[in-house]
Amino acid sequence: MIVKEKTVSLPSKSKHKVVMLDVEWTKNYRIKNGNKPFCYSLVFFGAPLKKVVKEKDISFGFKMKYAKSLSEIKNLPALLEKDLSFFLKNKYTLVGHQLCSDICVLKAVDSINQNLINLQKEWKERRLSKHSRIFDTRFDLEILKNKSRRLVDVCSELNLDVSQPELKKSMTLMQNKFYETKEKELYEKIAVLNIRHSLSSGLIYLLSNNEIKWLNKLNVNKIIFNNIKKHFSYVNSSEFNRLL
């Protein structure tokens, strides 16, 4: 299992107690439970954010687990439960894009994991309580005018630049190739893509909650570079620097 993380001082202000989750999986719809998770990231903000944010102002930490082989997939639900426990105990809001799918694909691996069962129940009931600590940026946003709810389209509408050149053909093909070759750059590209998805959902949530805003366009890749350039060689590559 590849383990990467960056720690930051967590803010005391409750409005920024947000943790973002994104899970990546290979897809196979021809068989039952054919979708296999292989990577997740939890992203959380560090220093309290200003009302009007710029790329240089945003600090975040993350916890990421990445399966190097098919045999390691079974460990992901328990690892996520451990990583997520602090945030749930301290009443962080859990944010993601189509969280229901992330939870379901993990539950297919570990159907008796009580934390996942509870999360799925909370997701289904999140609109029944004004105190819900789950927010899904695919289904819960009320500030969108366009029809598409794909994350990349939602970001475009809200002036978030989330250019993702890493995604060639399909995530499934990329990960299956990684299982075969164990190529470092290939895993790093998927990992950075995963972190970008998590981070984007959190920025969208805070914008929709009127806690932050940005002028013109916010470049998410600049935020990623500033925060994780010491953790992934790919972020320092010429390919990534063209995004800045």
- Rounded CA separation 137/99 (Å): 9
Q: How far apart are CA 201 and CA 151, in angstroms?
A: 8
Residue 33: what pLDDT?
80
Find the DSSP H helices in the chain: 76-89, 99-107, 114-125, 151-157, 171-181, 184-208, 220-228, 238-241
Q: Is the pLDDT of residue 110 over 70?
A: yes
Residue 129's pLDDT is what?
Answer: 80
Q: How many CB atoms lie within 10 A of CB 35?
A: 17
Q: Is pLDDT at 236 greater than 90 in this prediction?
A: yes
For position 30, what pLDDT does the model report? 82
Q: What percent of the chain has pLDDT over 70?
A: 98
Q: What's residue 155's pLDDT?
A: 95
The vertex-49 CA angle with 42 and 120, nearest 5°, equals 30
Q: Mean pLDDT across the chain, nearest whole number?
A: 93
User: Which has the closest alpha carbon to 138: 44, 41, 208, 218?
Assistant: 208
SS (H, E, C) 32-45: CCCCEEEEEEEEEE
- Span 55-70, pLDDT tens digits: 999 999 999 999 999 9
Measure the CA–CA gap between 59 and 238, rounded to whole angstroms: 23
**Average of per-residue pLDDT across 174-191:** 95
Is residue 14 predicted with pLDDT exceeding 60?
Answer: no
pLDDT in tens, 183-221: 999 999 999 999 999 999 999 999 999 999 999 999 999
Q: What is the pTM of this model?
A: 0.95
pLDDT digits 0-9 by tens, 71-86: 999 999 999 999 999 9
Give, in order, the Cα–Cα distances in Å from 36 to each of 24, 104, 113.
8, 11, 16
